[in-house]
Chains A and B, each alone.
Chain A
Amino acid sequence: MNTSELFSFNLLGLATLVHIAFVNITIGTGWISAMARYLAWRRSDPSLEIMARRVFKILIVHELFSGVWGTIITVILAGLFPTLLAIATDTLFYPILIALSAIIIRIPSIALFWYTWGKVKPSIHVVIGFIMAVSGFAVPMGFRYIFAEITSPYGIAAALEGSRDLARLQVFLNPIYPPLILHTVAGAMSVGGFITASFFAIRGNTSPKFLWIGLWHGVLFLALQPILGLWYLLSLSEKAPLLYNNILGGVQATYNLLPMFTGKLVVIASLAALSLVIWRRVKRGLGEVTRLALGLGPLAILVVILGEYINDAGRFPYLVLLGDKGLPPLVFSNLYIEIPYMLVIAVLGVLIIFIVGFMTTAYYALNKRFLADLPEI
């Protein structure tokens, strides 16, 4: 890879990592909030309704940023990898349409869920909540087809053989996809649970009951991950040997990720051990809140970032994998202009400054409970 290719590859990777970290938080907390709202209504449990509202605040703070980074990925693809985007919009037309439809439902339903709270009947509000939660899962269900195709071209392979119409349907049969999407969804649920658990361990916001609910969500889906992860790894061994070799640091590895993969397993083990300690203390919501729970959310996010890094950077020095070889980023790069890198770096700097500044303010506002439990007007 030359410098320009490496820059574009890293930039795409960075945007993907930030995006994935945010969406895991929002998808998981969205589901927990909607479910808590439903149970609050069915059981007439006031505390669950408060929980639903508080968990939803986590989503509100992170959602638009996850969306922005999704847009950033689109712009990076269009600006730096126009050929790849042109292929994706053709062969992956339908998966992108699914993701796009889900986004169309998801974002307004989030705003409506928050702002109609107390203004519409609880039954209607619960429906809005579930629409919001389910549409969140549908977004990666569309976009993960792209990841599956650049890891093991299945539909694109058919397109290259000239069967373009068939290729657009073939993408749905990509064998990499089922374990990848299940691994993704379980990850999002697990992150949502652990983030919720951490949130209710913050001083002034503590609740053993809410922490327990978050914790069991996190632990349940974490327990599924070894099975799903192994399934994904085995499918890589067959369909994407280069990525498989890189993850396990094989002899022919083009980028040895075994240390990072080991690190990920260590973090997962730490997360499991920490969960066990907290599980014992919180006693199904009747025990005590321990400050140790603050570590659950960050550890879960770290697992996601490490996993995504391994999955995406593991294709180095290629962008699209073809068995034990691949196509380098240069094949898909923007050759039409000399990229104004200073501008790109400056904008990236602005984005990072804004995000850091905003997240600090947002966490401060959450901590100070500026977003009221009760709707004001």
Chain B
Amino acid sequence: MAAYDNVSALMPVSILGIYLHAVFVSVTLGFPFVISAFLYKWARTKDNDYYVAARIATGVLAVNFALGAITGTLVEFGLVQAWPGSIYAISTVAFTPLVLELAAFIGEIVFLIAFIVTLRWVRMWVSIGLMAGYFVFAAFSGMLITMVNSWLNVPWGTGPLASVLYPFLPEYGPAAFQIPVLVTVKLALVDSLLTVGTASQILQNPEIAKAVGLSLSDPYIALSSPYALASVLHNVTAAVIIGIALAAAAFSYKHFRTGDQKYVKLLKSFLPILLVLLIIQPIVFGDNMGKAVAAFMPTKFAMMEGAETTIQNPLLAFLAYGDPSRPIQGFDELRRACGKHGDETIADIAYEVVPDYRPGPSGSIRLSDLCLQDLSKAEKRLPTIHAAYYTKIAAGVIALVSVVALSGSVHNLGLISSVVRIIEKRLGGKNLLFLLALLTLLGSILASALGWYVREVGRKPWTVYGLLYPEELVTPVSFSTPVIIAFTLLFAAMALGGLYGMYLVAVKPLEFVKLLRRGAGVEE
């Protein structure tokens, strides 16, 4: 079937786009802290090293911002072009976040360019204020996009709909969506998929749009999801951590190569921020995120915990539910829940919900079969998700331990510093500093990358959890594989070229400016 082929071809491109975007978003959100720390120290000490470092980091941030913008554009265009079924979500539940995101995006640009062009010409506190403004809008943008993504994970505002199809799912907030309308859309997609082989093209038909009509009564519903709130804090903090850890690794590397203490001095100015964030992230934000998954996404939680069957684990149950006696629901129990459907078919439900329902090809599908089939698809991913999740936890622990040791190496942290000194004697100060910074960076990246993997793959087989599959949203265009490969290569090449450009900006001295200097009248 065409839709399934398209999903196979386009999913890797979308994944690449999202991951590359995440790389640049991390620098976007992390570097403002690094640059502000440099400027603060420069204002306090008048040491020019801080200014030079701030200037170089600003150059890297600017190139990175451009790359973030194009990868963001790709993700956005990709969403509507590769997955045009998502246009229905964009024009309903994502409408408000995306409109607000425009203000956030333009705010980012205004503050960043204002910062760049006025740096050195205005008072340092003004520059730090401009950088703070930039961060606020960048974080706001991240928050809004995360909220849209969160709706895909937990479709807040669809009330009991998903739980009617899958009895093991909870209700998702108030029924802000018109349930009969949503059911009509779903049935139209499924029927089109079964008859034509693709589904999303139904949105091109003005008559269908008219027939569907008003779908959502509260356009602000995506902003009130408790799952979204937990996700925002967790994701934005993770991005900030990676951005700062990248800067820490870069300066540690320069110190490792040159032995110049200047780089340790620069590192010390922003390291405390990284330490605090890496402590808060698992204890507060990670914990909230885990609780949200346990509450709203039982299949994902079972996959994360490797619960093929229901298990008793008081510690885990306490962390997840706040109740040590509660069992961790496994796939066996989820399957039992599917049995509640009995012999009911989709048509049985549709007759109850949709006025004037006329059964299509989907009408005869038994709900229990559908429920069990989707659970099997989810369960197939259990070993991978389980391994990814616990590798992520381990990576996070490595990052945390490393940053604590790194801080103990450059600051006086009592007992921790004493222990680090002992290790330093064995490994050498330069080596250890670089090793710890590298482990902090790799641990942070691995934790985030795997965390995102668990978040996205863990909601499969659905794109909108419990409601819509990828094949219902994918483009009906039967494109040729070489076109997609060429596009992917172009995108990857530009991203890699951009990363290399950031490296050049960071490390290359000005070598080819003789002509320019003559032009500016500086040199004869």
Instruction: Answer yes or no: B491 CB below 8 A from chain A CBs.
Output: yes
CA distance A71 to B73 in the complex (A): 8
- The stretch that binds B, out of A98-106, A195-203, A304-312, is A98-106
Instruction: Answer yes or no: B448 CB below 8 A from chain A CBs.
Output: no
A111-142 contact mask (Cβ, 8 Å, vs B): 1 or 0:
11011111111100100000000000000000
CA distance A331 to B501 in the complex (A): 46
Residues in chain B near residue A334, CB distance under 8 A: 91, 95
Q: Is the CB of B52 within 8 A of A365?
A: no
Instruction: Answer yes or no: B517 CB below 8 A from chain A CBs.
Output: yes
Instruction: Answer yes or no: A324 CB below 8 A from chain B CBs.
Output: no
Residues in chain B near residue A339, CB distance under 8 A: 95, 219
CA distance A83 to B207 in the complex (A): 10
Most buried by A among B63, B74, B88, B113: B113
- The stretch that binds A, out of B346-354, B416-424, B453-461, B472-480, is B472-480
Known contacts A78-B87, A90-B476, A118-B512, then 18 further A-B pairs from the complex at CB < 8 Å, ordered by chain A residue: A75-B101, A79-B90, A82-B209, A93-B81, A93-B475, A103-B73, A105-B494, A108-B494, A165-B478, A336-B215, A336-B216, A337-B92, A344-B99, A347-B100, A351-B102, A354-B107, A365-B117, A374-B522
Instruction: Answer yes or no: A292 CB below 8 A from chain B CBs.
Output: no
CA distance A355 to B508 in the complex (A): 34
CA distance A371 to B520 in the complex (A): 13
Instruction: Answer yes or no: A224 CB below 8 A from chain B CBs.
Output: no
Instruction: Answer yes or no: B1 CB below 8 A from chain A CBs.
Output: no
Q: Is the CB of B118 within 8 A of A370?
A: yes
Q: Is the CB of A373 within 8 A of B516?
A: yes
Residues in chain A near residue B52, CB distance under 8 A: 377
Nearest neighbor of A106 in chain B, beta-carbon distance: B70
- The stretch that binds A, out of B196-204, B332-340, B378-386, B391-399, is B196-204
CB-contact partner of B206 in A111, A332, A336, A338, under 8 A: A332
**B-binding residues in A (CB < 8 A):** 40-41, 44-50, 53, 60-61, 64-65, 67-68, 71-72, 74-75, 78-80, 82-83, 85-87, 89-90, 93-94, 96-97, 100-101, 103-105, 107-108, 110-112, 114-122, 125, 164-165, 168, 331-332, 334-340, 343-344, 347, 350-351, 354-355, 357-358, 361-362, 365, 368, 370-371, 373-377
Distance in Å from the Cβ of B406 to the closest Cβ of chain A? 27
Nearest neighbor of B86 in chain A, beta-carbon distance: A78
CA distance A340 to B501 in the complex (A): 42
CA distance A306 to B497 in the complex (A): 39
Instruction: Answer yes or no: B213 CB below 8 A from chain A CBs.
Output: yes
Nearest neighbor of A375 in chain B, beta-carbon distance: B510
Q: Is the CB of A49 within 8 A of B512?
A: no
Instruction: Answer yes or no: B326 CB below 8 A from chain A CBs.
Output: no
Q: Is the CB of B84 within 8 A of A89?
A: yes
Residues in chain B near residue A344, CB distance under 8 A: 99
Residues in chain B near residue A358, CB distance under 8 A: 109-110, 113-114
Instruction: Answer yes or no: B212 CB below 8 A from chain A CBs.
Output: yes
Nearest neighbor of A15 in chain B, beta-carbon distance: B102
Residues in chain B near residue A355, CB distance under 8 A: 106
Q: Is the CB of B475 within 8 A of A337?
A: no
CB-contact partner of B513 in A83, A362, A375, under 8 A: A375
CA distance A96 to B78 in the complex (A): 10
Nearest neighbor of A44 in chain B, beta-carbon distance: B515
Instruction: Answer yes or no: B511 CB below 8 A from chain A CBs.
Output: yes
- The stretch that binds A, out of B54-62, B243-251, B268-276, B430-438, is B54-62
Q: A85-B80, A90-B476, A120-B508 are in contact. Are A108 and B501 (CB under 8 A)?
A: yes
Q: A93-B81, A103-B70, A115-B63 are in contact. Are A82 and B516 (CB under 8 A)?
A: no
B486-520 contact mask (Cβ, 8 Å, vs A): 1 or 0:
01001100100110010011001111110111111
CB-contact partner of B99 in A75, A86, A111, A165, under 8 A: A75
Distance in Å from the Cβ of B520 to the closest Cβ of chain A? 4
CA distance A48 to B518 in the complex (A): 11
Q: Is the CB of B517 within 8 A of A104?
A: no
Q: Is the CB of A64 within 8 A of B69?
A: yes
Distance in Å from the Cβ of A95 to the closest Cβ of chain B? 11
Most buried by B among A111, A332, A370, A373: A111
Residues in chain B near residue A350, CB distance under 8 A: 103, 106-107
Q: Is the CB of A101 within 8 A of B515?
A: no
Q: Is the CB of A374 within 8 A of B219?
A: no
Q: A74-B76, A107-B69, A108-B63 are in contact. Are A89 and B216 (CB under 8 A)?
A: no
Q: Is the CB of A335 within 8 A of B77?
A: no
Residues in chain A near residue B91, CB distance under 8 A: 78-80, 82, 334, 336-337
Q: Is the CB of A119 within 8 A of B505?
A: yes
CA distance A53 to B515 in the complex (A): 12
Q: Is the CB of A47 within 8 A of B501?
A: no
B110-133 contact mask (Cβ, 8 Å, vs A): 1 or 0:
100110011001000000000000
Nearest neighbor of A358 in chain B, beta-carbon distance: B110
Instruction: Answer yes or no: B483 CB below 8 A from chain A CBs.
Output: yes
Q: Is the CB of B204 within 8 A of A336?
A: no
Residues in chain B near residue A83, CB distance under 8 A: 203-206, 209
Q: Is the CB of A49 within 8 A of B87?
A: no
Q: A85-B87, A97-B483, A108-B66 are in contact. Are A119 and B511 (CB under 8 A)?
A: yes
Q: Is the CB of A101 within 8 A of B490?
A: yes
Instruction: Answer yes or no: B163 CB below 8 A from chain A CBs.
Output: no
Q: Is the CB of A112 within 8 A of B77?
A: no
Instruction: Answer yes or no: B67 CB below 8 A from chain A CBs.
Output: yes
Nearest neighbor of A100 in chain B, beta-carbon distance: B77
Nearest neighbor of A65 in chain B, beta-carbon distance: B109
